[in-house]
Chains A and B, each alone.
Chain A
Amino acid sequence: MAERFESVDDVITRLRKADYLSDAGIAGVVFLADRLEKPVLVEGPAGVGKTELAKAVAEVTGARLIRLQCYEGLDEAKALYEWNYKKQLLRIQADREHETSWAEVESDIFSEPFLLTRPLLEAIRAEEPVVLLIDEVDRVEIETEALLLEVLSDFQVSIPELGTIVGARQRPIVILTSNNTRELSEALKRRCIYLHIDYPSLEREKDIVRVRVPDIDETLADQIARVVRSIRSLELKKAPSISETIDWARTLLYLGKPQVDPEVIGETLHVLLKYQSDITKARKELEVPEPEAV
């Protein structure tokens, strides 16, 4: 079976080409997911690049990304498959004049043309390579989690009328993300390998900023990373995420600020922090002035 990555270093270099800066931990898990053919459960604070990871993996392996966005109330019909009721009704009604036996009709309306595939089934039946992203899995109810289990452990779906549909090809890389708003069930966790992505180290964050905002110069990127680290060390409602760091870097670049000084931070702090109480606290701690009223 063709392996998608040669080594952990290969993962790092190739992800880097897709503008995703990983580290040994992240790359190691992606590599394992490929070799063990197990799904990866990625947890971590919002905005540290969990979903981005799936996108980058899809990009570098030349696979199509199939995304199942989870939400409360997600059910089988939206995640796995659904029978096309309307089409089935039409079929039955169209048949009234003809003398077709019920058995014939039944076997007809429960066949492929009447099946609506949803992301999970789509991923299993895909002929081309795919990466399956199950995003924010913590949003579904604990009972609904169960319908993922068969897919995650055996990569197959049982449809009572059609039998079991098994993925013919190599198993795709499956990535589940969770913002940890609730504890996922042990059964689900057991079937996955686990990756916790945290806020990056100073060096990594600096590199990320430089990759994502190529026009920025090194000193500014360094200052940005340091200020963000400093802000994250405060007790805040919502610490700045990587995406917010990048937004901030873009803002500073756009405003043409050559360096970070207290005034600049004061004017642009709202890009990093989204709660007024956090902004006030950061102002006080970093001794940054209020922006002047315009």
Chain B
Amino acid sequence: MPATASPYLLDVLQGFVHELRAAGLPVSMTENLDAMRAIEFIDIDERELFKSVLAATLVKHHRHQKAFDVVFDVYFSLFSQGIPGEDGEEGEGGEGEVDLSGEGQMGAGDGAGQPVSREELAAMLLAALVNMDRDELRRLAGIAVQQFAGMEPGRPVGGTYYLYRTLRMLDLDALAARLMGMARDQGDVGEGQLAERLAREEVDARLKELREIVEEEIRRRLVADRGAEAMARTLRKPLPEDIEFMHASRDEMLALQHAVYPLTRALAARLAQRRRRRNRGHLDFRKTVRASLSYGGVPAEPKFRNPHPSKPEIMVVADISGSVASFARFTLMFVYAMASQFSKVRSWVFIDGIDEVTRFFNESDDVLEAVHRVNTEADVVWVDGHSDYGHAFEVFHQRHYAEITPKTSIILLGDARNNYHASQTWVVDELRKRGRHVYWLDPEPRSYWDTGDSIVSEYGRYCDGVFECRNLRQLQKFVETVAEG
């Protein structure tokens, strides 16, 4: 059995678990203990194995993997060249030259410190990329970061700034072109579009890996400079289900989009199960008698008819002006991804004019494409393109009031920032009286409600419920309540 983990490592591990919890991952006591036991069985110098063992014991949701990766890279970046043990302590103590000068083994062949010209470096990188020699790439990334990133100890700049500086000097596009050229010369690229595409994807995959290696190198040096905890804090990001719709960055939007589908699928499965199980049907007399024959005529096992649950009809009316647009988009995606849970889904979008967009969703089975068409083709501007809830609701009432049945649930989406137009709350009141439920979803934090031109309470008075809906977690919970009827 390998040697027991050193107390130093256990300390690092505790800090690591602490940071995971701070990042929102639910790590229980049992899992923590499992991880500590687990690392006794493996050789912690094998970084990939060490990482996968920690992930297996600490992370139980695939969508948390990314958050785990970041924290792991920060906490154990100094371990990448084996466990430093006492060296690590020393590194943190030694002022100024903390690792930024590069290590002994960095650039061992060329003699550390001796600058390498850009051309030389590019040529070496190219050779390493052709053979995909990862150790060599790591060594070269070290040289590149040292020469081009211009890192200064203690300078409060994010890693992205250094990454940008390094990558600009490495000129990945030129590298890509040269790699493609070399592949072509060697006859690796066949004729036609397809061969071209496959070769390009291969080049892209390799460069992506290089980029990650450079990123890792920068992070390693930053951690050496500032310490793991400080770095982890700056890199801490919300989990996909906690990202706020209103303030999501482009990357976060993508993360959200990837999280939506599995979530809806999981939710749909659960709801379908629950609906089927709730209220069993009436007693099926014939089946019961037949089953009783195997118990000597004793009706020991009552049989029931299959239930016929009713599914709600949904009408979604969403504000898609400026700030709340991304929220409306996600809600529409969510509702349509769950369309099988409802007997009928219809949707409208508005700014100051209103337009039905059900057709986009019916015409295409790709929800993303449909949402895109909603954003580009729907006719939602009436006068000036500033939200006018009152007018939009009035038109909705005029055109569709008759189509609302007692089975219809209506969901209104928006921040109710009405630009001081007339509110026309009577529409909401009438909708509720005729339909089954009217719900309002507001993507703003509750504390902002009714500030400025927001009049959510005025409408809320006539709704069956007003919900704060800032992230996927809240949205999911809401859809659950609606589908339950």
Contacts and interface: CB of A to CB of B under 8 A. Distances in A.
Given A8-B42, A194-B56, A226 B201 contact: yes
B178 interface: no
A44 B30 CA distance: 24
Nearest to A141: B273
Interface string A167-198: 00000000000001111001001111111100
B91 to A, nearest CB: 27
Contact of A24 (B49, B202, B265): B49
Nearest to A29: B56
Nearest to B263: A183
Interface in B351-405: 365-366, 368
Given A29-B52, A226-B198, A261-B194, A182 B60 contact: no
Given A8-B42, A36-B37, A181-B265, A230 B201 contact: yes
Contact of A41 (B53, B60, B194, B205): B60
A279 to B, nearest CB: 13
- Chain B interface secondary structure, helix, strand, loop or mixed? helix
Interface in B227-248: none
A98 interface: no
A186 B205 contact: no
A293 to B, nearest CB: 22
Contacts of B267: 182
Interface string A243-272: 000000000000000010110010000000
B198 A181 contact: no
A101 interface: no
Contacts of A38: 34
Contacts of B55: 25, 194
A262 B59 contact: no
B26 interface: yes
A60 B98 CA distance: 49
Nearest to A226: B198
Interface residues of B, number: 46
A155 interface: no
A107 interface: no
B295 interface: yes
Interface string B311-354: 00000000000000000000000000000000000000000000
A32 interface: yes
Interface of A: 8, 24-25, 28-29, 31-32, 35-36, 38, 41, 43-44, 72, 85-86, 89, 93, 138, 141-142, 180-183, 186, 189-196, 202, 223, 226-227, 229-230, 233, 235, 259, 261-262, 265, 277, 286-288
Interface string B49-88: 1001101110110100100000000000000000000000
Nearest to A265: B194
Given A35-B41, A182-B270, A277-B365, A25 B52 contact: yes
Contacts of B419: none
B453 interface: no
Contacts of B49: 8, 24, 28
B30 to A, nearest CB: 5
B266 to A, nearest CB: 4
A72 B52 contact: no
A28 B41 CA distance: 10
A93 B38 contact: no
B192 interface: yes
A285 B295 CA distance: 62
Contacts of B201: 226, 229-230, 233
Interface string B18-49: 00000000101011001001100110001011
